[in-house]
Amino acid sequence: MSAERLIYLPLGGAGEIGMNCYVYGYGREDEERLIVVDLGVAFPDMDGSPGVDLIFPDIAWLEARRDRIEAVFITHAHEDHVGATGHLWSRLRVPVHARKFTAAVARRKMDEQGQDPEEVRIASPWPAQIEAGPFKVGFAPISHSIPESSALVIDCPAGRLVHTGDFKRDATPLVGEPFDPALWAEIARPGVKALICDSTNVFTDTEGRSEAVVGPAIQELVVAAPGMVVATTFASNLARVRTLAEAGQAAGRSVVLLGRAMRRMVTEAVEAGVLVDFPKTMPPEDAAKIPRENLMLIVTGSQGERRAASAQLARGKYLGLEMKEGDLFLFSSKTIPGNERGVLNIINAFSEMGVDVVDDSSGRYHVSGHANRPDLKAMHEITAPQFLIPMHGEHRHLREHVKLGTETGIAGVLAPNGTMVDLSGNAPRVAGYVDTGRTYLDGSVQIGALDGIVRERIRLALNGHLVITLIIDEEDEPLGEPWCEVKGLPEKGRSKAPLSEVIEEELGQFLGRADDDLLVDDDKLTEALRRVARNTANSEIGRKPEVTVVISRLS
Amino acid sequence: MSAERLIYLPLGGAGEIGMNCYVYGYGREDEERLIVVDLGVAFPDMDGSPGVDLIFPDIAWLEARRDRIEAVFITHAHEDHVGATGHLWSRLRVPVHARKFTAAVARRKMDEQGQDPEEVRIASPWPAQIEAGPFKVGFAPISHSIPESSALVIDCPAGRLVHTGDFKRDATPLVGEPFDPALWAEIARPGVKALICDSTNVFTDTEGRSEAVVGPAIQELVVAAPGMVVATTFASNLARVRTLAEAGQAAGRSVVLLGRAMRRMVTEAVEAGVLVDFPKTMPPEDAAKIPRENLMLIVTGSQGERRAASAQLARGKYLGLEMKEGDLFLFSSKTIPGNERGVLNIINAFSEMGVDVVDDSSGRYHVSGHANRPDLKAMHEITAPQFLIPMHGEHRHLREHVKLGTETGIAGVLAPNGTMVDLSGNAPRVAGYVDTGRTYLDGSVQIGALDGIVRERIRLALNGHLVITLIIDEEDEPLGEPWCEVKGLPEKGRSKAPLSEVIEEELGQFLGRADDDLLVDDDKLTEALRRVARNTANSEIGRKPEVTVVISRLS
């Protein structure tokens, strides 16, 4: 008879910063009752996922065990933790628990996808606990950059787990509850079996700074600016949005929120009562009447996103507003790796307009929302866990965080996505590997990252596309000439004649020589035409395109 | 009668770091005799130029004035200065001048493109001068990160210009000549009309450090490493390649060069006599026999390039060599903006193998080859030019460099690509704007960046491709059903039936209702079929794909 066991299984977030989704289970092997922490998204890029709208963790493993899932818990309202709730919920159909503001965001996401918002239930903070099968789960307030961020205290018969969610050690976070070492000491008193811990900033050696330090620096900058001031940060970084708005207000400027996500996030937070005394804002349509030196815009697009407000302003007018020489643009944000080129393109566009751009390179106008290396160490020490499981990081972060644990004598487990860890014994043990991956939201359809669909699009982008059509008559003879259409290829090559004509000519000659066996076999004929077309293209333009052959038979 | 004038016209490099190409002219307006400085390349990326092989400056303006060009001068052998020589020479057909090693590289590039290498002539360094119409041009040695880097001293009846090329202030550059303030003071003595100056590091406030400082740090790292050490840098950063090889040798390791560019660059430099006493290297095929703790590999791929040696090692075996747990991988390089994600993917792959990765974040293992802000200021002071023209930078760098000049009282000119500046008078004057842009090498064909070909490929990648074929018989009636092929789109959507079948069904119904006027008009019919297909796709998969319609008429 197998004993009961406690398992941990990351499906997303332990291999990337984003797309968080973690599973805990307790019970007999393969009968464990399960809870899910976070249903987040990651964002696509042109390199690896062109045309994709959003990226979700692959939850096939969970879906197949739906009857064993008790509930989903959402730690906070950032997209990489809550963003997939509406899209994935119908595949799980279990209650979702979150604190009030997070629940408001999750409910909107449910509503947008046609799901019942009431499936999201509002949780009270620690010391309240929610029973979920063998688990009792508490939302323990922890400082981050959005209100109501919570670590989860997860109790089960095998002991207590602390799942930090995203956090920093900040005594004055401006929004949300301050980091409270006494609370964590209290929570740790019964003993912590495992600390499952944010790894984002494990490579940053200096102690983290409080959100409160950037306000005065930003205010100084805004006061000194002669023209309009425009500042960008993540809309969901409500701490910073507040800091920016207060700096604008203190400088006597009218504050305008630009960009749908920015306006919506602030509205939701105000409505949820977690953003009290937020400075009065002015609608964008009224701003054009105000002298520009009295304006402070807070805009979306800190990562250079093409459709966000900052990119629109870099291209010209946006909602009647326009940047001019002498204005100031502030990136109160860190550029996420992969987004550098997009951000720099915006900076150069502003430079052409004569706008002064200030970024975070001085360290004065941005602080991270995540715990740095010394803060992680402090968290290890306060909670004194038996095991450390780094999460919320790329592989390099997880590996480094395990090393950090080793320095302080805590047994660490390197558990990337799909690694099932058995936490029951005195040492953590890898109990198996689960197939994991990524699900793409492609238009309105969920597809697997490895289905080949996006790979096919990438090949079209790299190689271009030739379409060849051929009609075969009732006597199995070509009717007329083959036809060639080109997409994304140079019009002319080596022989200075149109590429499509050169290929048609070669295909025509090939068909003239082709024997009857070939002409009756669609597969062989398709392959032969493809080969001729690719070789001709290669000799003409030095490139072998993707080829689609359409043979229409009149018989 | 118009007087003679001196003009400056950047065609590439003043709007990006890369693709350098500058024009100087002297003579009557529109009759100026011209010289060209550098013919460099830029590198494509998936975001903006998928499938493109190389990017060149658009030299149409020069080509149209070929009879007025006296010569091309190449400052040094980095790809962004010499890389386009072979590809563009046939459009200019004028002598190319470069110092010995640079000439060797340029000759290879001519040869690779079927041009006569002898068109590249070997120049002696300053005080030698080459006569080119009204100009006398001298190659004045300046420190950078590759041997024989030279600034150009350009004399003409309107005065002396100093075109710095890429440079840093380094008294001990390890390869190439040290920076010599006395030489520059001497060159400046007759007075400098304009300093055309590298802007790469204008945002770096600290004084530049010498190449000599990284050697001891790297050596320490290599000596302490328990396993194999693999280090990467640009192959063309011969200073660093030498530093790395010497560190390996000093640690008693056999040094192996991996990657075609790395082996070729070192061979060419040794043959040109500019890399004397380079440590003995071992061929990769012999390395597998050596204990890994006695090996030091120096490899290509510092920017995460998919086909280079570092990416190959991150994926598994390369030329019989393989990374293992306990090995060390050193990025002795800076990641160029836009390449971060590729580099991090490699770091994470190594992390999964248990390889320790060291990058330049500590500043110990890499120094820049370009002058920092204080060094630029020093160069301004030594040469004391009448005008400052920042080059070799994005717009933000050029703008900042003009500001820096203003601080020291030098009139700066912000002249991005295509800006023709008249330097004849007592103040620089913008004399006009020339259409400039980028030429893509796409396979074997040169195409314009704005020709729409690459934009079409990007659309295919973002939207996928539907191909619709329809046969119309002699009576102008559809023969059979329309046929639909999909590329890069989900197989099934909302109705759970294959997307192609759903679209064929809709198109069939549409054609059943279509009147005769439509069926005889190819353009209208194409447009109508496209619209039906796009709308059907949108309702099925939430996306409007690119559509190609092929109508074949039997009449």
Would the CB atoms of A443 and B490 count as touching at under 8 Å? Answer: yes
pLDDT in tens, A406-431: 998 999 999 999 999 999 999 999 99
Q: What secondary structure, in 3-state letters, does B301-344 show? A: CCCCCCCCHHHHHHHCCECCECCCCCCEEEECCCCCCCCHHHHH
Mean pLDDT of chain B: 96
- CA atoms in the 13 A half-sphere facing the CB of B312: 17
Q: How far is A330 from chain B (nearest CA, A)?
A: 14
Would the CB atoms of B344 and A337 count as touching at under 8 Å? Answer: yes
Residue of B nearest to A481 (CA): B552
Q: How far is A285 from chain B (nearest CA, A)?
A: 31
Asked if residue A198 lies in contact with residue A167, where contact means CB atoms within 8 angstroms, the answer is yes
Substitution target from A487, A496, A530, A539 for chain B, most B beta carbons within 10 A: A487
A180: amino acid identity, one letter:
D
Mean pLDDT of chain A: 96
Would the CB atoms of B461 and A465 count as touching at under 8 Å? Answer: no
Lowest mean pLDDT among A318-322, A381-385, A460-464, B293-297: A318-322
pLDDT in tens, B193-231: 999 999 999 999 999 999 999 999 999 999 999 999 999
Report the distance separating Cα A170 and Cα B52, nearest Å.
48
| Long-range CB contact pairs, B480-487, < 8 A, 24+ | B480/A552, B481/B507, B481/B508, B482/B507, B482/B508, B482/B511, B482/B529, B483/A550, B483/A552, B484/B533, B485/A548, B485/A550, B486/B545, B487/A456, B487/A457, B487/A460, B487/A465, B487/A546, B487/A548, B487/B460
Q: How far is B535 from chain A (nearest CA, A)?
A: 13
Q: Is the peptide bond before A127 cis (omega within 30 degrees of 0)?
A: yes
Would the CB atoms of B338 and A340 count as touching at under 8 Å? Answer: yes
pLDDT in tens, B52-108: 999 999 999 999 999 999 999 999 999 999 999 999 999 999 999 999 999 999 999
Would the CB atoms of B337 and A338 count as touching at under 8 Å? Answer: no
Asked if residue A468 lies in contact with residue A552, where contact means CB atoms within 8 angstroms, the answer is no
Q: Which residues of B touch A395 (CB under 8 A)?
A: 348, 351-352
CB pairs under 8 A between A and B: 194
Residue of A nearest to B458 (CA): A461
Residue of B nearest to A538 (CA): B443
Would the CB atoms of B344 and A394 count as touching at under 8 Å? Answer: yes
Q: Is the peptide bond before B216 cis (omega within 30 degrees of 0)?
A: no
Report the distance separating Cα A27 and Cα A432, nearest Å.
16
**The dihedral sign for the CA sequence A369, A372, A376, A377:** negative
pLDDT in tens, B363-394: 899 999 999 999 999 999 999 999 999 999 99
Q: What is the mean pLDDT of residues A302-321?
A: 94
pLDDT in tens, B402-438: 999 999 899 999 999 999 999 999 999 999 999 999 9
Residue B250, token pair as written in the block = 């000093």
Asked if residue B142 lies in contact with residue B343, where contact means CB atoms within 8 angstroms, the answer is no
Listed residue (B548, B435, B167, B13) closest to A548, CA to CA: B548
pLDDT of residue A1: 44
Q: How far is A491 from chain B (nearest CA, A)?
A: 9
* Per-residue pLDDT band at A2 (split at 50, 70, 90): low
Q: How far is B499 from chain A (nearest CA, A)?
A: 12
Asked if residue B13 lies in contact with residue B409, where contact means CB atoms within 8 angstroms, the answer is no
Q: Is A60 helix (H, G, I), strand (E, B) or coil?
A: helix
Asked if residue A402 lies in contact with residue A412, where contact means CB atoms within 8 angstroms, the answer is yes
pLDDT of residue A408: 85
Residue A170, token pair as written in the block = 């900040």
- Measured between CB atoms, which of A445, A460, A485 is closest to B488? A460
Q: Which residues of B touch A491 (CB under 8 A)?
A: 453
Residue of B nearest to A539 (CA): B444
β-bridge pairing B429-433 and B419-422: antiparallel
pTM for the model stands at 0.95
Would the CB atoms of B340 and A342 count as touching at under 8 Å? Answer: no
- Measured between CB atoms, which of A15, A352, A461 is closest to B460? A461
Q: Which residues of A touch B538 (CB under 8 A)?
A: 443
Q: What secondary structure, in 3-state letters, does B433-489 show? A: ECCCCEEEEECCEEEECCCCHHHHHHHHHHHCEEEEEEEECCCCCEEEEEEEEEECC
Q: How far is B263 from chain A (nearest CA, A)?
A: 26
A484 pLDDT higher than 90: yes
Q: How far is A415 from chain B (nearest CA, A)?
A: 11
| Long-range CB contact pairs, B42-45, < 8 A, 24+ | B42/B12, B42/B16, B42/B18, B42/B80, B42/B438, B43/B18, B44/B440, B45/A341, B45/B338
Asked if residue B229 lies in contact with residue B248, where contact means CB atoms within 8 angstroms, the answer is yes
- Measured between CB atoms, which of A341, A457, A541 is closest to B47? A341
Would the CB atoms of A445 and B541 count as touching at under 8 Å? Answer: yes
pLDDT of residue A240: 96
What is the rounded (10 degree) CA torsion for B239, B243, B245, B247?
180
B1 pLDDT higher than 50: no
Buried b (16+ CB within 10 A) or exposed e, B154-191: bbbebbbbbbbbbbbbbeebbbbbbbbeebbeebbeee
Asked if residue B387 lies in contact with residue B172, where contact means CB atoms within 8 angstroms, the answer is no
3-state DSSP helix/strand/coil % of chain B, to nearest 5: 35, 25, 40
Residues 6+ positions from B56 with CB-CB distance below 8 Å: B12, B19, B39, B41, B42, B84, B87, B88, B438, B439, B440, B441, B446
Length of chain B: 555
Instruction: State percent of chain B over pLDDT 70.
Output: 100
Q: How far is A345 from chain B (nearest CA, A)?
A: 9
Q: What angle separates helix A395-407 from helix B340-353, to the nearest 10 degrees? A: 50
CB atoms within 10 A of CB B315: 11
Q: What is the mean pLDDT of residues B304-329?
A: 95
B420: amino acid identity, one letter:
M
Substitution target from B305, B339, B348 for chain A, most A beta carbons within 10 A: B348
pLDDT of residue A288: 85
Q: What is the mean pLDDT of residues B524-549?
A: 97
- Measured between CB atoms, which of A347, A460, A493 is closest to B461? A460
Q: Domains of chain A by range and CATH? A: 4-206+368-448 (3.60.15.10), 211-358 (3.40.50.10710), 464-553 (3.10.20.580)
CB atoms within 10 A of CB A126: 19
Q: How far is A227 from chain B (nearest CA, A)?
A: 18
Report the distance separating Cα A466 and Cα A451, nearest Å.
23
Q: Which residues of B touch A542 (CB under 8 A)?
A: 443-445
- Measured between CB atoms, which of B445, B488, B541 is closest to A444? B541
Would the CB atoms of A442 and B543 count as touching at under 8 Å? Answer: yes
Residues 6+ positions from A268 with CB-CB distance below 8 Å: A101, A104, A105, A108
A555 pLDDT higher than 90: no
Report the distance separating Cα A58 and Cα A538, nearest Å.
39
Asked if residue B358 lies in contact with residue B329, where contact means CB atoms within 8 angstroms, the answer is yes
* Per-residue pLDDT band at A445 (split at 50, 70, 90): very high
Report the distance separating Cα B17 and Cα B396, nearest Å.
11
Q: At B192, phi and psi to the nearest 5? A: -115, 120
Strands (E), B99-169: 120-122, 130-132, 135-141, 150-156, 159-163
Residue of B nearest to A550 (CA): B469
Residue B177, token pair as written in the block = 């000549």
Q: What is the mean pLDDT of residues A481-485?
A: 95
pLDDT of residue A392: 98
Q: Which residue did the predictor score with more confidence, A108 or B362?
A: A108
β-bridge mates for residue A18, sequence order: none
* Per-residue pLDDT band at B359 (split at 50, 70, 90): very high
Would the CB atoms of A51 and B479 count as touching at under 8 Å? Answer: no
β-bridge mates for residue A299, sequence order: A232, A258
Residue A333, token pair as written in the block = 């944000």
pLDDT of residue B555: 81
Would the CB atoms of B456 and A203 count as touching at under 8 Å? Answer: no
Listed residue (B350, B545, B531, B371) closest to B460, CA to CA: B545
Would the CB atoms of B394 and A457 count as touching at under 8 Å? Answer: no
Q: ipTM of the predicted structure?
A: 0.94
Listed residue (B363, B391, B369) closest to B169, CA to CA: B369
* Per-residue pLDDT band at B541 (split at 50, 70, 90): very high
Would the CB atoms of B50 and A347 count as touching at under 8 Å? Answer: no
Residue B361, token pair as written in the block = 């974040």
Q: How far is B65 from chain A (nearest CA, A)?
A: 24
pLDDT in tens, A183-218: 999 999 999 999 999 999 999 999 999 999 999 999
Residue of A nearest to B468 (CA): A550
DSSP structure class, residue B179: P
β-bridge mates for residue B71, sequence order: B35
DSSP structure class, residue A351: H
B421: amino acid identity, one letter:
V
